[in-house]
Amino acid sequence: MPKSSKPRKQYKPHGINAKAHVVAMMGAAALHIDDRTVWALALDSAITSVAQGKASQQQWSCIFAAAALLEDLVKAGKARDPDDIVRHAEDACIAITTRYRLGQRAVRAQELADLRALFAAWSEATADMTQGEKFLAEQRIVRRMECGQMRVLEQLPQ
């Protein structure tokens, strides 16, 4: 067999395109069950800590983030809130954190029920959420925070 006069080209790997990750996030891939489970366990743990009067700022942030995500999904038409669950949960958070500042760690039964309803609605709304929907919702939440349109996130107990 005759030798080729053209030498083989050496392999030169290309760098990873940083925009490819953003494009992938805009896609229709569903959220993985492991991610949803971790978020659900964190939210459930946070609500349990509130009920016990031992919630940390990180746990309050988890509850507020869930309320903000659910509120955004409702506004975007991706979830339903016929019973005004988000508003009731936000009102409960404000009342609880106000009492936290006064040194009272007690949670009323209705407030705990409102937080549990938030958890159930959040779980239902995120069950069929895609990566793209989550990404866009987070972007809208950041914009609302920058504009000062988030009433609950300002209520973190010290």
Query: What percent of the chain shows pLDDT beyond 90?
Result: 41
pTM greater than 0.95: no
Say if 10 falls within a structural domain: no
Specify the DSSP class assigned to residue 127: T
What ranges make up the beta strands (E) of the chain?
A: none
Helix (H) or strand (E) segment spanning residue 157: none
Q: How many residues does the chain have?
A: 158
Flag whether 127 is in a domain: yes
Of the ranges 6-20, 35-49, 63-77, which one carries the lowest mean pLDDT score?
A: 6-20
Q: Specify the amino acid at residue 36.
A: R
Is residue 21 one of the residues assigned to a domain? no
Total count of domains within the chain:
1
Closest CA to 65 of 13, 3, 141: 141
φ, ψ (nearest 5 deg) of residue 125: -70, -35
Does some domain include residue 125? yes
55-89 tens-digit pLDDT: 998 999 999 999 999 999 998 888 888 889 999 99
In this structure, are residues 96 and 111 in contact, taking their beta carbons and an 8 Å threshold?
yes
Residue 26 has a pLDDT of 60
Neighbouring residues of 27: CB distance < 8 A, sequence distance ≥ 6: 130, 131, 132
CA–CA distance, 25 with 33 (Å, rounded to integer): 16
Where in the sequence is the domain holding 93, given as residue range(s)?
30-155
User: Domain for residue 142, yes or no?
Assistant: yes
Q: Does 7 have pLDDT greater than 60?
A: yes
Of 21 and 5, more confident: 5
Report yes or no on 24 lying in a domain.
no
